[in-house]
Amino acid sequence: MAGFTVMAPESTGLAFTNPIPPSRHYTNQILLHGSGVTTGDVDGDGWCDVFLAGLGGSSALFRNEGNWKFRNITAEAGLGSCAKLDATGTALADVDGDGDLDLTWVRESFYPIVDAMRASAAAASILIEWGGDWKTFVDMPHWQLPWSRYP
């Protein structure tokens, strides 16, 4: 059978929820869309680790220990107090150019991630541009290669 395989949080270690109390989503329905996820090798061991952004203090960093096993390393990675902040989006990129991945996330604005993506793309000599239309949402906002790069 092709496709995805359901893997229980108890077996993978990726136990994560993003609870949003009604008192918050009654006034902002967009919060029900969830928060971000980013993956990358944060510890240099060759395995893809996972950061899950959450609202109300539930963000978490999971270290990939191989064989689909993950361990929550939020506190030991020094993110304990930061992970208590609301996070609506996240990215891993070498923002400072030192050769390792830097974790960035946004609270109520996407601009820090936009700036990090622009800087990382420029450092790698990759031309990207912001596409989409915020007013009509016909073409959802996104990153794209410049149209001149398409055949």
What's the distance, CA 130 to chain centroid? 18
Quickly tell me which residue has 């996820």 as its tokens: 37
Q: How many angstroms separate the CA atoms of 31 and 134, rounded?
A: 18
Q: How many angstroms separate the CA atoms of 148 and 70, rounded?
A: 41
- What are the contacts of 109-117 at 24+ separation with CB within 8 A? 113/89, 116/91, 117/91, 117/93, 117/143
Q: How many angstroms separate the CA atoms of 147 and 125, rounded?
A: 16
The residue count of the chain comes to 151
pLDDT of residue 139: 47
> pLDDT band at residue 14, thresholds of 50, 70 and 90?
very high
Instruction: Write the pLDDT tens digit of every residue in 91-146.
Output: 888 877 788 888 887 765 556 666 777 777 778 777 766 655 545 544 444 555 55
Inter-CA distances, 74 with 13, 88, 131, Å: 13, 17, 33
- Computed from CA positions of residues 22, 26, 30, 33, in that sequence, does the dihedral angle turn out positive or negative? positive
Phi, psi of 143 (to 5 degrees): -90, 150
Mean pLDDT of all residues in 51-77: 90
Q: Tell me, what DSSP letter sits at residue 77?
A: T
